[in-house]
Amino acid sequence: MPGYPLINREPIYAALFNLLAATSGITTSSRILKHWDDVPSADQPALFMAQGNQSAKTERGKPTLWTLDAKVYIYVKTDGDQVPSSVINPILDAIEAALSGNAAENVQTLGGLVDYARIEGTIETDEGTLGTQAVAIIPISILAS
């Protein structure tokens, strides 16, 4: 029996997904990643979340610190002359705001489940080379102890 409580991953990933799936402008959301070609235009803007790497930092006499990664995929398909970035940028802004948490602490704890969940790293975007299909991949880092 461990001396410190163990993390419970599923409630953490579920809370992150539920937070981000509620983003204004999202039509379709799932934790099962699909390729944008498999998501009809009528079902976009779409949000998909995939779990990433998980790393542990241990120190004798202290609880394990876990860093859990996730990637959030945003797909936006436009028609006519509408610029895809004009649709995807407000969604990215809303996701950033959701991960900012409360104004007093500027941290998102997913209801107290984690120390933080935040965007960390480079947001990959493709707007133009795919024509009217835009894609953004957002790296999320979660610290849990």
User: Considering the domain boundaries, does residue 2 fall inside one?
Assistant: no
Residue 1's pLDDT is 45
User: Considering the domain boundaries, does residue 4 fall inside one?
Assistant: no
State the total domains in the chain. Answer: 1
Residue 71's pLDDT is 98
The domain in which residue 76 lies consists of 9-53+63-144
CATH of the domain at 111: 3.30.2000.10
Q: Going residue by residue through the chain (145 aa), what tens digit of pLDDT does each one get?
A: 456 678 899 999 999 999 999 999 999 999 999 999 999 999 999 999 999 999 999 888 888 899 999 999 999 998 878 888 899 999 999 999 999 987 677 899 999 999 999 999 999 998 766 678 999 999 999 999 8
The Cα 112–Cα 144 span in angstroms is 10
Which pair of structure tokens corresponds to residue 96? 């950033």
User: Considering the domain boundaries, does residue 21 fall inside one?
Assistant: yes
Contacts of 118 (CB under 8 A, 6+ apart): 99, 107, 108, 140, 141
Residue 105's pLDDT is 75
Our measurement of the distance from residue 70's CA atom to the centroid of its chain's CA atoms, rounded to an integer in Å, reads 6
The Cα 69–Cα 25 span in angstroms is 24
Single-letter amino acid code for the residue at 68: L
